[in-house]
Amino acid sequence: MFTGIITDIGRVKAIVSAEEASDTRFEIETKDDTKRLGLGASIACSGPCLTVVDKAAGWFAVEASAETLARTTLGEWQVGEKINLERSLKVGDELGGHIVTGHIDGVARVISREPEGASIRLAFEPPQDLLRFLAPKGSVTLQGVSLTVNEVENSSFGINVIDHTQNATTLGDLDVGSFVNLEVDVLARYVARQLGKE
């Protein structure tokens, strides 16, 4: 369980493809103290919850299955890729964002980027079946970041990325055509199920 509040921007330092191992292995550089990161721990890596399988000073390794690569942007990662990192929530931690599971629902595409004061206004085209889970002033997770939805249109939704979030995450680097991991608000999903709409 996560909150969508990013604690570090890591960088992919090595990739071992599935041809060489059973799953694809990513080694990720981090400024966080890896001594406190246990093997088997969960960490959100630009959205998807992955398991730490190896570590040393300044880096840790995770593995992604073919299913994860197919349903997220991880299959497009390259060495040097910047990624948003968040350690799993502990009981008693501040819930600064919203409840985030790290289970990606789909991939959305940036369709516009406009400056708005010190913020950036971004519009996304998600998979159409996910639009019903998005509501103005509701929560959404993009690249592991907890965000507030500004508006929802027929085939898109918009957000604002404030200056702090641009600097503390990778969202400031997004441009038209970029793809992002999207997780809808888990509460919206359960409400839809109770109403028989899922």
Are both 83 and 110 inside the same structural domain? Answer: no
- Show the tokens assigned to 85: 């990192």
Are both 114 and 143 inside the same structural domain? Answer: yes
pLDDT at 183 over 70: yes
Which residues 6+ apart lie within 8 Å of 194 measured at CB?
Answer: none
pLDDT at 17 over 80: yes
pLDDT at 94: 72
93 in any annotated domain: no
Q: Would the pTM count as exceeding 0.75?
A: yes
The percent of residues above 90 in pLDDT, for the chain, comes to: 82
Q: What is the pLDDT of residues 60-71, one digit of tens each?
A: 999 999 999 999
Q: How many domains does the chain have?
A: 2
Higher pLDDT, 163 or 192: 163
End-to-end CA distance of the chain: 23
Instruction: Provide the domain limits for residue 44.
Output: 8-87
- Taking residues 18-36, what's their average pLDDT? 86
- Taking residues 3-9, what's their average pLDDT? 95
74 in any annotated domain: yes
Q: Are 181 and 73 in contact (CB under 8 A)?
A: yes
175 in any annotated domain: yes
101 in any annotated domain: no
pLDDT at 99: 85
Distance of alpha carbon 35 from alpha carbon 126, whole angstroms: 38
DSSP per-residue codes, 106-153: EEEEEEEEEEETTEEEEEEE--GGGGGG--TT-EEEETTEEEE--EE-
Q: What is the pLDDT of residues 88-132, one digit of tens each?
A: 877 667 777 788 999 999 999 999 999 999 999 999 999 999 999
Q: What is the pLDDT of residues 121-179, one digit of tens each?
A: 999 999 999 999 999 999 999 999 999 999 999 999 999 999 999 999 999 999 999 99
Strand order across the 139-142 sheet: 145-148, 139-142, 179-184, 106-116, 119-125, 157-161, 151-152
Write the CATH number for 81: 2.40.30.20
Average pLDDT over all residues of the chain: 92
Give how far Cα 156 sits from Cα of 136, 146, 174, Å: 12, 18, 16
Are both 154 and 111 inside the same structural domain? Answer: yes
